[in-house]
Amino acid sequence: EVQLVESGGGLVQPGRSLRLSCAASGFSFEDYAMHWVRQAPGKGLEWVSGISWNSVNLAYADSVKGRFTISRDNAKNSLDLQMNSLTAEDTAFYYCAKLRSKELSAAINYWGQGTLVTVSS
């Protein structure tokens, strides 16, 4: 069974940093691209960042480019999102998501349960 478990969310002050992690199990993690997708409470889905199976291709939404960094460790079956210079607009549930392919141009077929990031003073 595919499992994606996010951690690292919480309350953080504007301008500070936070690092999210996603522990993957139940599939061959090194064979699939991964995304981070966020959803503000009561709002729609917003794609944040993606990483190919071998970390060669990285992609970021314009809203987070230059502030967020995605990375993965295939040996540890883990996906990370380093978030710097956080603002209130970054407040959302952050979902770790597995794609159907090694590369980024694929649909998401599994989602984690999400971790809530709240940016507030």
Partner 1 sequence: DIQMTQSPSSLSASVGDRVTITCRASQGISNYLAWYQQKPGKVPKLLIYGASTLQSGVPSRFSGSGSGTDFTLTISSLQPEDVATYFCHKYNSAPPLFSFGPGTKVDI
Instruction: Choose the stretch contacting partner 1; rule: CB under 8 A; options: 19-27, 67-75, 81-89, 111-119.
Output: 111-119
Give the residue, chosen from 56, 62, 75, 121, that forms a contact with partner 1 under the rule CB under 8 A. Answer: 62
Distance CA 120, CA 59 (A): 27
Nearest distance from residue 87's CB to partner 1, in Å? Answer: 19
Please tell me whether residue 102 adopts helix, strand or coil conformation.
coil
Q: Which amino acid is at 10?
A: G
Interaction between residue 44 and partner 1 (CB under 8 A): yes
**Which residues are within 8 A (CB) of 2 and not within 5 positions of it... i.e. 6 or more apart?**
24, 25, 26, 27, 98, 110
How many residues line the site for partner 1 (CB under 8 A)? 22
Q: Establish if 7 lies at the interface with partner 1 (CB under 8 A).
A: no
Gap between the Cα atoms of 56 and 1, Å rounded = 27
Residue numbers at the binding site for partner 1 (CB under 8 A)? 35, 37, 44-47, 50, 59, 61-62, 95, 100, 104-109, 111-114
